[in-house]
């Protein structure tokens, strides 16, 4: 899809239009319609410029319009006021349209963001993770996926209630975000499961996962129900030619191995998965 004209190009186009209108008016000495033509393009520009820019252009058009409209000796007060009124009306209408456009764009942006982010933790949701992961595969970047499950999370909900469990999930999400690098992607995969897409080689993946485990071993999670000793189990798999979904399935198998071996550890997927303390 071709990009539309830039803001600079639009402003240059509007300046050329002003010069043309003024030039024609000077040659014809007909001041009845030319002042209004100065600001008519603002209605079109309202689909691209912000309200402040439109008001600035409208003020410029008003100044030129007044100059043109008042040049002829035949210009009476009533027509002068009509000229000013029409120019101001068109300018305000354009600014109003621009304001509505901006609100619609912001609402669409929020809707798109909400569709890709988990409401509770603010992390990417499964849809957002799949999109980012598919982009990595398309770009042929080296990456690993780490599937992370909170150990014995059901006990937290049963003992302290779901509101405290939600508080714990928010803090868990915060710690995961703080443990990964800016180039990595972290999201809530569902329930108490999280997924991290780690960009880079096996060394980068090992460093990130080590920080993830250490983040929960270092201190308890503080909630309104008290301090909780939260630990996580991790399954890791490389993203290869088999694709992202297969990598996640392998990470899930490695995660199961971490659970079976005692939790609070990570396992790298292989034909014979090996745990990492």
Catalytic (active site) residue 192: yes
CA distances for 103 relative to 96, 98, 99, 108, 261, angstroms = 11, 9, 6, 9, 53
Q: What whole-number distance in Å separates Cα of residue 29 and Cα of residue 250?
A: 80
Q: Which of 161, 150, 139 is nearest to 230 (CA)?
A: 150
Is the CB of residue 94 less than 8 Å from the CB of residue 52?
no
What are 228's strand-pairing partners?
221
Catalytic residue of the set 53, 167, 171, 192: 192
Residues 274, 266: Cα–Cα separation, whole Å: 9
Enumerate residues 6+ apart whose C-beta is below 8 A from 192. 149, 150, 153, 169, 172
CA distance 264 to 256: 12
Q: Which residues are catalytic?
A: 192
């Amino acid at each position: 899809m071709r990009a539309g004209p830039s803001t600079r190009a639009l402003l240059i186009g509007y300046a050329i239009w002003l010069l043309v209108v003024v030039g024609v008016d000077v040659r014809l000495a007909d001041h009845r319609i030319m002042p209004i033509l100065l600001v008519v393009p603002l209605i079109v520009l309202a689909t691209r410029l912000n309200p402040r820019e439109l008001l600035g252009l409208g003020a410029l058009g008003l100044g030129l319009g007044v100059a043109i409209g008042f040049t002829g000796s035949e210009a009476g007060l009533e027509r002068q006021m009509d000229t000013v009124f029409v120019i101001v009306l068109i300018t305000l209408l354009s600014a109003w349209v621009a304001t509505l456009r901006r609100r619609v764009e912001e609402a669409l942006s929020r809707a798109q963001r909400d569709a890709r982010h988990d409401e509770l933790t603010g992390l990417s949701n499964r849809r957002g993770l799949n999109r980012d992961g598919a982009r990595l595969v398309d770009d042929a970047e080296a990456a690993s996926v780490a599937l992370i499950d909170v150990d014995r999370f059901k006990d937290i909900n049963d003992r302290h209630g779901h509101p405290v469990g939600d508080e714990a999930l928010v803090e868990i999400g915060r710690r995961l975000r703080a443990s990964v690098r800016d180039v990595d992607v972290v999201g809530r995969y569902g329930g108490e499961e999280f997924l991290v897409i780690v960009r880079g080689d096996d060394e980068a993946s090992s460093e990130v996962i080590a920080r993830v485990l250490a983040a929960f071993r270092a201190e308890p999670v503080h909630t309104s129900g008290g301090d909780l000793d939260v630990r996580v189990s991790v399954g890791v798999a490389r993203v290869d030619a088999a694709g992202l979904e297969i990598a996640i399935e392998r990470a899930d198998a490695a995660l199961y191995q971490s659970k079976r071996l005692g939790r609070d550890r990570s396992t790298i997927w292989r034909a014979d998965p090996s745990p990492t303390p």
